[in-house]
Amino acid sequence: MNKKEWLAVPGGVAERLRALHDATGLNGKDFAERLGWHPSKVSRIRAGQIFPSADDVTAWATAAGVPQAKDDLLTLLAAAELLRRDFRQRMAQGQAGVQRDYNRLVADSTVIRYFDTAWIPGFLQTRAYARRVFEEMQELHGGREDIDEAVAVRLERQRYLHDRTKMFDLLIDEPVLHRNVYPAEIMEPQLHYLLTWLDAPNVRVAVLPMRGGHRRMPQNSFQMYDGIVVLDLFHGEVDCDAELYSRVMDDMLEIAATGADARALIRRAVDAVTG
């Protein structure tokens, strides 16, 4: 994935900058005038056609009246190429190695928190579901084909769910339960398996409902390992501010369905798959 492709992915810099611009209510010409730029530069940055500089991002956030937004944007901008290259290099050696890195991270952590807008969290995946996820990753990123090994390594991680010295918050965006990406013969057992973890003493499985008093709009998947945060994007992984994402997670968990309420939402998804 080249720079321009990375800019255009959901949650990427172009989308963030578009949102800041749109919130001003200014058209492209007026916003460009505020920046002192040619309007074509604004339109090309909005479209992800050119890679903005750090100065561009800072000026954009300031012109939008949200100068504090530049910090997250600059973090993404500065780290993207290095982290993307590192992720691609690791992927080139095979997905099993990436999964072993995660297993080591879990082994060294006490509090593990996931929010997923795309898939069932890896801790809770069945073998068939995990295989389809890795097939998709293989198609997207390439690298050595080691899907069977990668699935086995990911499933090994589930043993940590039985470790009472660790606490897990595994939050799933409700549309994940209903997305018809995989066939019913994969989704039905996966959803039933998810139900088996609802009563685990040190594992909180929660569903962020589509309808509810959301304080924050779900934007992207992320994982937290004590003080380490990994933000999942199409291009790979990005490290982020742990305190910020901890607050976001707490806010979403306040309205998330757990226990019997989560069970009802998951069973509704099962009915949709089997109906």
Residue range 243-267, pLDDT digits in tens:
788 888 999 999 999 999 999 999 9
What 3-state DSSP class applies to 139?
helix
What 3-state DSSP class applies to 16?
helix
Where residue 51 falls among pLDDT bands split at 50, 70, 90?
A: confident
- Structure confidence at residue 6 (pLDDT): 47
Q: Say which range, 23-32, 55-64, 236-245, has the weakest mean pLDDT.
A: 236-245
Q: Residue 61: left if φ>0, alpha if ψ -120 to 50, beta else—which one?
A: alpha
Could you say which of 3.30.70, 1.10.760, 3.30.870, 3.40.50 is the CATH number of the domain covering 93-274? 3.30.870
Average pLDDT for residues 65-83, to the nearest whole number?
72
Look up residue 263 and give its two tokens: 């069970």
- Compute the distance between CA of residue 23 and CA of residue 66 in angstroms, rounded to an integer: 10
- Is the whole model's pTM more than 0.75, yes or no? no
Q: What percent of the chain has pLDDT over 70?
A: 84
Instruction: Give the residue extent of every domain in the chain.
Output: 3-78, 93-274
- Compute the distance between CA of residue 227 and CA of residue 115 in angstroms, rounded to an integer: 15
Q: Which parts of the chain fold into alpha helices (H)?
A: 3-8, 13-24, 28-35, 39-46, 54-63, 70-92, 95-107, 127-141, 147-156, 175-178, 184-195, 242-255, 259-274
CATH topology of domain 3-78: 434 Repressor (Amino-terminal Domain) (1.10.260)
